[in-house]
Amino acid sequence: MSEARQPTETTPVQHSDFGRRVATRRQELGLTPEDLAERTGASAAYVRYVEGQAAQPGSGFALRLADALDTSLDELHGGTYTRPPGTADKARDPEFLELSEQQCRALLATHGVGRLAAQLPQGPVVLPVNYTVTPEGGVAFRTRPGSALTGASGQEVAFEVDRVDDALSEGWSVLVVGVARTVADPDTARSLDRLAHTEPWAGGDRTLWVSITPRRITGRRIRRGTA
């Protein structure tokens, strides 16, 4: 099937979830639109159109996209959103690798969502938070003043970030263990505001920064064997 008709100057512009997932996966793989165009046999302009507009490409091109991005059509269409990761079978001859601290820090620096594990007065909790890597090499996240997470200040906590690719049965995880402290200095808080890549997804008055000074950083990766 031929490429979908691109909009004219007067066509209303809408962004599609399919296009966002294509762009996100392409960026995860470190590919440019030109790289993806070469892999799929399309033009770079059409790749940008699919990523940026409410385009529904033909089934043939969509399959080529999934193949070029090492994923599945189900993933690109968001069909796996409600399922927890890790439901796919293991890859043939998987390799289990321990990551160096340098590799762990490089993965942490990609930013995103991590999970904070802490022992609070009401019991242990594990909560997802949007995080930022600090200039000192630590991790920081925002919460509401007076929230339960402020009870972790002064305690040793664990912070975990991971990525699971069901299409390839691959993934990695990084674990940071250290002491959490609320950021009281206004200048430091403003600096973290400028560094933040995203606003907290949960919204609300999450203006209080909590930083974690790492005592130990470890990680592991599972990938397909080279045999």
CATH number at residue 151: 2.30.110.10
Inside any domain, residue 135: yes
Give 219's pLDDT tier (boundaries 50, 70, 90).
very high
pLDDT 10s digits, 40-81: 998 989 998 888 876 678 888 888 898 888 887 777 877 655
Residue 174: give the domain boundaries. Answer: 95-223
- The answer as to whether 86 is a domain residue is no
> What integer is the mean pLDDT of 124-133?
92
Residue 118 belongs to some domain of the structure = yes
What pLDDT digit, counting tens, does each position of 102-119 carry? 999 999 887 788 999 999
Q: Does one domain contain both 122 and 201?
A: yes
Task: Tell me the CATH number at 43.
Answer: 1.10.260.40
Domain membership flag for residue 7: no
- 225, 95 Cβ separation under 8 angstroms: yes
What confidence tens digit (pLDDT) does each residue in 136-171 have? 899 999 999 888 888 889 999 999 999 887 666 788
**Do the beta carbons of residue 166 and residue 85 sit within 8 Å?**
yes
